[in-house]
Chains A and B, each alone.
Chain A
């Protein structure tokens, strides 16, 4: 039988092992208890072990008879822009207020596309900010300040 390695399989399995393992280690820090009275650590330990075991199986299978998957390119620009945009929103909305935060988030997200032109990006961001303010603050009455404490003098 021909051996077919599948890197994506190994990677996926590795992630399962890593996260499962982390939960196993973490759950050992909690009281385990007995099957009759399970402590907080019992169930996570069980599931964490299952995740890690399945991850190991995925890795082994990936080394012997892996699934043919083309991993493809990673759009780094999009990954960074979008993730930064979401983190920024969470961090800044209380501090800068709704309008500036939405504008920056929208602009950052727009820049994720490689095809976007600067002027288009600004226009889209401005339009989305207005739309978001109208929908969420005016119509849905979300209790968020339009301009936050960092912008007050």
Chain B
């Protein structure tokens, strides 16, 4: 069987000592930043990216991926123990998870989260292995027109899932695409918007954008009202769930896995959507609806499984189409490019060891996460006592050094400051930073394919509608836009109606 051969190749790559080691380092770091509030995986990956440049490409990507799904995992630990979701997708877990902890059942809650996540991670990894190759085959037939429409669809889908109004998210995407045009034009070599600074000819480094918008802006937000984090952590005992618990979590885990695996493919914040929908589903079909919010183990197991399944399948668009579904993946695109690999459908045939090694490492990473989290829970609890006054200077200093070491270019640091200020103001105005970063990364792709498609069609704009795949993708993009706009209209109406009454 081809799939088995491929997986065998993957495991033989992922089981190399250095790959296991860096997979471990990745999930360890990921769990740490997931546990610590105020620093997310995006800023961490941005900081560590320069370090990975000296690694083998597959090792680098294994570690970066580990940080990403490790963080999803770590976020739920704090959500359960101290009602502080380290990651947005863990917000749902806090509802019932923390309630369970307050009733002295933190152990079973953590165990349910761990078992659910591991099961979901395993299934979703298989789903990724099965679904990715055929999708890549389809994607290989894509011409510039299809790619343009696909990138556009990806960008628009990412707003459908962002918080805040669709209008602002759309504006953030466009702003990101626009900043992506800074630097030399690919066709003519004309330097654009470089303000006569030679250092800007290569464009703005996306690490600067990420560190500014996700690192600096986030820290400034946290420093707005400083308060000592009083981590009153309940003692964790009796990790193993009771027979009753075990019976109750089976179905939610299965449903959460399916839901998460499907929703994770959507760009934007599919994993957040996955955990929220899973909670909603479990609550609706449960016979004990009154238990939800009062420590129902189903409300932990379902969303956690969904969240982790989505974290795995969100690699599908990245690995098959080269489209990042999450800011962390946008950074991973950068890692691919630095190593001379263009992310997209060709990766699977050109770099099979890398492709399958990365997939196999995710399963190993999930196993490591269970081992890390259940017995070592005490260490993570201890980490919560690190004062923020030590944490944020470390983030800033390491981010500054890391970014500088990318190209030994001081302008990369000035760009951090620019995007830090811009991001801070815009976030305060209710704009999400993630769409901007996605737009920034995908913008050059959008421009290149637009121009190439129009050269091939001799300037005929209708090419995007006459080619069937492109037309379907554009239609989907329009539909997504309408759907994204609708809830706003509906909500607005409700508000208006409420005021009239």
Interface on A for B, CB 8 Å cutoff? 1-2, 8-9, 11-13, 15-16, 19-20, 23, 26-27, 30-31, 34-41, 43-44, 47-48, 50-51, 54-55, 57-58, 61, 65, 67, 69, 71-75, 78-79, 82-83, 85-87, 89-91, 93-94, 102, 105-106, 109-110, 112-116, 120, 124-125, 128, 131-132, 135-136, 140, 142, 144
Contacts and interface: CB of A to CB of B under 8 A. Distances in A.
Given A37-B455, A105-B400, A125-B393, A11 B424 contact: no
Contacts of B216: 82-83, 86
Interface in B387-427: 388-390, 392-394, 396-398, 400-401, 404-405, 408, 410-414, 416-417, 420-422, 424-426
A138 B462 CA distance: 58
B188 A89 contact: no
Grouping DSSP codes into helix (H, G, I), strand (E, B) and loop, the A interface class, with mixed when no group exceeds half, is helix
Given A58-B167, A58-B171, A113 B226 contact: yes
Contacts of B178: 19-20, 23, 44, 47-48, 51
A149 to B, nearest CB: 15
Contact of B451 (A9, A43, A67, A116): A43
B245 interface: no
A143 B425 CA distance: 36
B454 A38 contact: yes
A78 B475 CA distance: 46
B346 interface: no
B430 A67 contact: yes
Contacts of B193: 23, 26, 44
B482 to A, nearest CB: 16
Given A82-B396, A106-B397, A44 B459 contact: no
B416 A8 contact: no
Contacts of B405: 136, 142, 144
B181 interface: yes
B406 to A, nearest CB: 11
B428 interface: yes
Given A102-B397, A128-B393, A86 B413 contact: yes
Contacts of B413: 86-87, 89-90
A19 B425 CA distance: 14
A20 B430 CA distance: 19
Interface in B219-267: 219-220, 223-226
A43 B180 CA distance: 11
A93 B407 CA distance: 13
B499 interface: yes
Contacts of A12: 168, 171, 425-426, 429-431
Interface residues on B, range: 35 or more
A79 B220 contact: yes
Given A39-B188, A40-B188, A90-B412, A69 B396 contact: no
18 contacts: A2-B499, A9-B429, A23-B178, A30-B190, A38-B451, A43-B450, A51-B174, A61-B167, A74-B224, A82-B420, A86-B420, A87-B414, A90-B410, A90-B414, A113-B388, A115-B389, A128-B397, A131-B394
Nearest to B211: A86
B492 interface: yes
A2 B492 CA distance: 12
Contacts of A142: 401, 405
Contact of B397 (A36, A87, A132): A132
A39 B431 CA distance: 32
A44 B459 CA distance: 18
B232 to A, nearest CB: 20
B500 to A, nearest CB: 9
A98 B246 CA distance: 55
Contacts of A16: 171, 175
B170 interface: yes
A47 to B, nearest CB: 5
Given A40-B188, A47-B177, A106 B167 contact: no
B141 interface: no
Contacts of B181: 23, 43-44, 47
Contacts of B226: 113-115
B466 interface: no
B400 A83 contact: no
B414 A112 contact: no
Nearest to A72: B224
Contact of B430 (A9, A87, A136): A9
A112 B192 contact: no
A32 B68 CA distance: 41
A15 B422 contact: yes
Nearest to B448: A43
Interface in B300-359: none
B187 interface: yes
Pick the 3 closest A-B CB pairs, nearest first.
A36-B459, A90-B413, A12-B429
A82 B393 CA distance: 9
A38 B453 CA distance: 11
A17 to B, nearest CB: 10
